Amino acid sequence: MVSIERNPTRAVSIGSITVGAGNPIAPQSMTATHTQDVEATLGQVNALHAAGAGVVRIAVDSKKDAAALPAIRAGTQANLAIDLQENYRLAAEVAAYVDKLRYNPGHLYHHETEKPWQEKVKFIAGVAGDNDCALRVGVNCGSVDPAKKEQFADDDSIGPMLASALEHCELLDTIGFTRYVVSLKDSDPQKVIEVNRRFAEQRPDVPLHLGVTEAGMPPDGIIKTRIAFEQLVSRGIGDTVRVSLTVSNDRKPEEIEAANSILADIAAGRVRSVVDFGMESLNIISCPSCSRVENEAFIELAEEVKRMTAYAKDHAITIAVMGCRVNGPGETDDADLGLWCGPTHVNLKKGSEPLGAFAYDAILPRLREELDQLIAQRGPASTPAGA
């Protein structure tokens, strides 16, 4: 075992566990079922709990989703977190049945646009305090606070994420709510390392939830996440973690197994050398399947994209495959080619430029056409080192 000096973060209780303050790093996951399907959701919650999840997160996008929570709460001993999306006011309807509320600063602008975000955060924090809930301030690369994004160069994705997280921490501290953790996620493990390292330097007291968003399918998604976790956890950064994998519902516990395996390796000193992942080769990112996915064909499509594009493995091209309309449009902007999936069609993008919507059975040939054009424009693939 190696000795790792953890960051001196404060303790934050989440149901039956406590993160921060030197407590064991807790693995988390998120359900991929439709929340209103109580039986399926409860089955997945309990499967994740049995696999060792310290917290299980559920998406709530509507009042109907919220109405399913009492039955879910009654059927599990798991510590539950709720992923609030655009409708921040749903916090009041769900907090009594969960242990943590997660909100995204970038999503606070979608409802009641005339109201300052500070008032919305105060509302969420007030609800959390009244219902014995912790908070997570979840900052994502693809849905960052638009006001913060305007303050930084177009090619600086880390700056707005960091500024947004620090600003929300300051507000929560000012109103006396300190029972919160922060996450700063990107699909690029190197950016995850850098933004979390910089945050931890400025706010070593705040517990961090680590993850590489849209890591993709195993084994690639596990490799990307391992890169980030090795570099951060070995520096004492990180109090709770998630391995986000694109897998079918019955395989979701693999996220917990992967997280525990990575953490065990780090604790034992089995840290692999870190490569600059994806910079000189094809990089496919895909989001973890969750309840926001509107067509389960998304998972099969992600696997087909990986198989179909294997011929381009030596080209430094990033392809993003996203499962929903909530984060998909924004989180494909930085990819060379992006696909975000709706109920009946897949939207194809080249960078931030929309190329159209295509049926699921028609998207692969169109994607290959665009990929071949990119390869032709960029020239020969880079020669691997030592070749």
pLDDT along the chain (387 residues), means of 10: 85 98 97 95 98 96 95 98 90 98 92 92 98 97 85 92 97 98 94 97 98 87 91 94 93 96 87 46 76 79 93 90 75 84 92 93 96 90 49
Write down the pLDDT at residue 276: 39
Domains of the chain and CATH, by start: 12-267 (3.20.20.20), 283-378 (3.30.413.10)
pLDDT at 2: 64
The pLDDT score that the predictor gives to residue 354 is 93
pLDDT given at position 298: 85
Q: How many CA atoms lie within 13 A of 23 on its CB side?
A: 20
The single residue listed with the structure tokens 């790792």 is 4
For residues 28 and 53, the answer to whether their CB atoms sit within 8 Å is: yes
pTM: 0.78
At 148 the pLDDT is 87
The confidence score (pLDDT) of residue 1 equals 61
Tell me whether strands 12-14 and 17-19 are parallel, antiparallel or unpaired.
Answer: antiparallel
* CA–CA gap between residue 235 and residue 224 (Å, rounded): 18
Number of neighbours of residue 126 by Cβ within 10 angstroms: 15
* Separation of alpha carbons 224 and 216, rounded Å: 9
